[in-house]
Structure 1
Amino acid sequence: MTEERLTRRLVIRLCVVVVAMFGFGFALVPIYDVMCEAFGINGKTAGVYEGQQAVDEQRQVRVQFLATNAADMVWEFGPQADEVVVHPGDSTQMLFVAYNPTDKPMTAQAIPSVAPSKAAAYFHKTECFCFTQQVLQPGERIEMPVRFIVDRDLPADVRHLTLAYTLFDVTARKPPVAQVTLTRAAP
């Protein structure tokens, strides 16, 4: 083969590899989601739940709450109680409190996880402050509810769940809306 022909084959092979890598990059997100769901890893919660269940009064599950600030997050953040005991199928609410001690508006996003990971599919949030970003003005304190249901189908060997939130400062990605006082000039 001539050198020109070898070069052309190499360029075609490299182009095929680039296209394959690009396609694989797009396929990674759905593959990751399927793997997490199949193996119950990553502690992803089951998301918004809109169904109703009969309450299992014969069984109790202890739900522990943890709150952590990510690096560089200065807010005070935590649950009103460390844990609650619930009956599977019963709707429960816990309040988390956040306080912005700085002199500037800040925006935060909470990321939840559930442990043990095999129980994450049975933990349904019906309302959560983690669904939206939270904006607090300087010195502002807010109570943020999370309403949840522990599914009746939770495996019997799981008697303790931990719902953990990590709070991230996302102010740089989405500038907060500052409170503005309008004054009118005299005519």
Structure 2
Amino acid sequence: MASSRRLVGGLCLVVVGMFGFGFALVPLYQVFCDLTGLNGKTSNIVNAQAQSSQGVDLERIVTVEFVTYISKGMQWQLTPKVEQLKVHPGQMYEMEFIATNLSAKDQVGQAVPSVSPGQGANYLNKTECFCFNQQPLAAGETATLPLRFFVDTELPKNISTLTLSYTLYELPQPQQKG
């Protein structure tokens, strides 16, 4: 009888451990992606002074492409003002995206960036990005969303094109009590 209780207790500990590991897996994966640049995740932390001290590589041109996706069921448009830019590593660039809420209700969107190729993700640095914040838009409203970025001069020479894509997701709005 004592061995059965010990077995049940041990199995319960295994179940609780697996459950806890399942919850910890997503944050651990995000930290891993932030550190390695795996899965095209970019870091939101940029030191602009470090960027300015490294200078501009006028000898090199990198193409940065901009692509947008809207999550299923979300009635928005998100369009880059330009589809690509030719940039010099180390130089700061600004561009804009146009977001329009096509639905009949107010919505809040959040853009999630991804860079490909994945090994280039750590070299595309955003100093200002609409993806850092939630974007509330009233029904039918249009907004201009800013992006300031630079490509690090340490970008490997074999990478000549970076694709910055954004997927826009609808965030649930808090329910008003009343």
> Which TM class, normalised by the smaller chain length?
0.7 to 0.9
- Find out whether 1:11 has 2:8 as its counterpart: yes
More helix by share: 2
Partner of residue 89, structure 2: 88
Structure 1 segments, 4+ long, off by >3 Å, are: 37-40
The answer on whether the counterparts of 1:46 and 1:122 sit within 8 Å (CA) in structure 2 is no
Relative to structure 1, the CA distance from residue 147 to residue 38 in structure 2 (aligned partners, 3 Å threshold; closer, same or farther) is: closer
Partner of residue 39, structure 2: 42
The range that moved more, 146-155 or 28-37, is: 28-37
Relative to structure 1, the CA distance from residue 12 to residue 175 in structure 2 (aligned partners, 3 Å threshold; closer, same or farther) is: closer
Give 1:153-164 correspondences, 5 Å limit.
153-164=154-165
Partner of residue 28, structure 1: 25
The answer on whether the counterparts of 2:44 and 2:132 sit within 8 Å (CA) in structure 1 is no
Work out the number of aligned pairs and report it: 172
Unmatched tracts of structure 2, length 5 or more? none
TM norm structure 2 = 0.87
Counterparts of 1:102 and 1:77, CA distance in 2: 13
Percent same amino acid among aligned pairs?
47
The range that moved more, 4-13 or 73-82, is: 4-13
Partner of residue 75, structure 1: 76
Please state whether the residue corresponding to 2:69 is helix, strand or coil.
strand
Please state whether the residue corresponding to 2:40 is helix, strand or coil.
coil
Unmatched tracts of structure 1, length 5 or more? 178-187
Please state whether the residue corresponding to 1:124 is helix, strand or coil.
strand
The range that moved more, 129-138 or 97-106, is: 97-106
RMSD (Å) for aligned C-alpha atoms: 2.0
The answer on whether the counterparts of 1:135 and 1:176 sit within 8 Å (CA) in structure 2 is no
State the 1:37 CA deviation.
4.8
Partner of residue 137, structure 1: 138
